[in-house]
Amino acid sequence: MEFLHWHDKYLETLSGVEKKKFVQELRIIKYLYVFGSKTNAEICRHLKISAPSSFSFLNELINKNLIEKQGRGESIGGRKPDLYGIKDDALYVLAVEMGKYETKMSIFNGINTNITGIKSYHSMPLDENNTETIDKFYKYATELIKSSGIDPAKLIALGISIPGLVDSRKGVNYTYLNFGEKTLKDVLQKKFKLPVFIENDAKAAALAEYRFGQAKGKKDVLSIFWDWGIGLGLIMDSKLYRGTSGFAGEFSHIPIVKDGILCQCGKQGCLETIASGSALSRLALEGIKSGKTSISNNSSEEDMDKIEAKFVLEAAHKGDQYAINILAEVGFNLGKGLAILIQLLNPELIVLGGRIAEAGEYVTTPIQQSLNTFCMRQLKEPSSVVVSEMGQHVCLMGAVAIVMENIFEYYIKTVSK
């Protein structure tokens, strides 16, 4: 698989003409990988090349076992055209979702199918010693690659979704696994000897929704990742919006309540303190201490982290009124924040993902009530609010989408130097 997993010595053997050909073939692979099977006519239009040139490139890629004919397209008069697509074993991506207490990883093939199942690891929380966490991660990842049975040369990149203040362009996480002058991206690329792409978890979730979920084909979307915190990913004019420093979307840390509870960011009264999973846990603990709820028997401050959102959801489904009430409270509070975003950005779709969103109508109804109260009708009505259909692994799929967004441009830029 030297075509993709190449190295400097290989590039040095290419002439200028060969490099141009190599870049065009990469662009075809990128187009098919991101958008699925296409006809030669569609490839020509997208790449702005002639039909004979496209056919020549396609035949080369078929001979290299990277693409194949995958049936026939719709006829526009005459014989139905051939469809060309990536072979499922042409390339692989290691997708990783690093969480505060759990890391998930899986390998996906050239048609974005999970081939290993999702492996979960609890022994490397992000607040552990940096070096120790990275060493554990490398150990588990290499074991997964080996056990998968794939040709390691066909593994083209690692995509990593991670919480925190992430500058994806530099590959730095200023909150977790911050190595100072050596970026997290640099450290991992040196270990794996592969391109590594890192993105904030909420932005990764937004990319997953845009590539695979309900935001597919939409231009302006707000993707809310609603878990311990409240992450925001912005799709604006069909592109992930990162902002000047890559930090756009720190929705959770907008002060909402005057003289409110101290937030982990150091400010008081942030939206996170009244509308997140951590706020839900705090309210649940208060209910337990005062005997208002059957959510959990835990009653000490030390057990705070054990009162997860899933316990509140389970209690609500069993009819626990206190659980229902606090879900409604955090939902209404999130709606206040969403009303501000709608007024500013006028999105066509808002996708709610993450653990809290799984509460369904227990939170979506109060969110809608809040929007009715705080949002102008003309701006609110075009904005649909839906619960993600991607489940708990949206950030893992986001890690795949991160690679889809970046890997081929990375190769094209490198070979064009």
pLDDT of residue 73: 75
What percent of the chain lies above the pLDDT cut of 90?
A: 64
pLDDT of residue 76: 66
pLDDT of residue 8: 53
CA 232 vs. chain centroid, Å, equals 11
Region for residue 151 given its phi and psi (left: phi exceeds 0; alpha: psi -120 to 50; beta: otherwise)? beta
pLDDT of residue 201: 93
pLDDT value at 302 more than 70: no
Domains and CATH numbers, the chain: 8-86 (1.10.10.10), 92-205+395-415 (3.30.420.40), 214-389 (3.30.420.40)
Average pLDDT on 175-181 reads 88
Give CA–CA dist 367/329, Å, rounded. 9
pLDDT of residue 14: 74
pLDDT of residue 299: 40
pLDDT of residue 295: 75
23 against 306, higher pLDDT:
23
pLDDT of residue 11: 64
Q: Which residues pair with 93 in a beta bridge?
A: 108, 157
Q: What is the mean pLDDT of the chain?
A: 89
The DSSP bridge pattern shows strands 155-162 and 92-98 to be parallel
pLDDT value at 363 more than 90: yes
pLDDT of residue 50: 94
Give CA–CA dist 240/233, Å, rounded. 7
Nearest to 151 by CA among 184, 121, 102, 107: 107
Region for residue 182 given its phi and psi (left: phi exceeds 0; alpha: psi -120 to 50; beta: otherwise)? beta
Q: What is the pLDDT of residues 245-255, one digit of tens each?
A: 889 998 999 99
Give CA–CA dist 277/307, Å, rounded. 10
Average pLDDT on 302-306 reads 49
Average pLDDT on 105-134 reads 90
Average pLDDT on 302-317 reads 73
Per-residue confidence at 297, pLDDT binned at 50, 70, 90? very low
Based on its alpha-carbon atoms, the radius of gyration of the chain, rounded to whole angstroms, reads 23
Average pLDDT on 47-62 reads 93
Q: In 347-382, which positions are buried (b, 16+ CB within 10 angstroms) versus exposed (e)?
A: bebbbbbbbbbbbeebbbebbbebbeebbeeebbee
CA 415 vs. chain centroid, Å, equals 27
Q: What is the pLDDT of residues 72-99, one digit of tens each?
A: 877 666 678 899 999 999 999 999 999 8
Q: Please state, in angstroms and as integers, the Cα–Cα distance from residue 352 to each residue in 18, 36, 327, following that order.
A: 47, 26, 14
When mean pLDDT is compared over 90-99, 128-137, 278-287, 290-299, the highest value belongs to: 90-99
pLDDT value at 300 more than 50: no
Average pLDDT on 7-32 reads 80
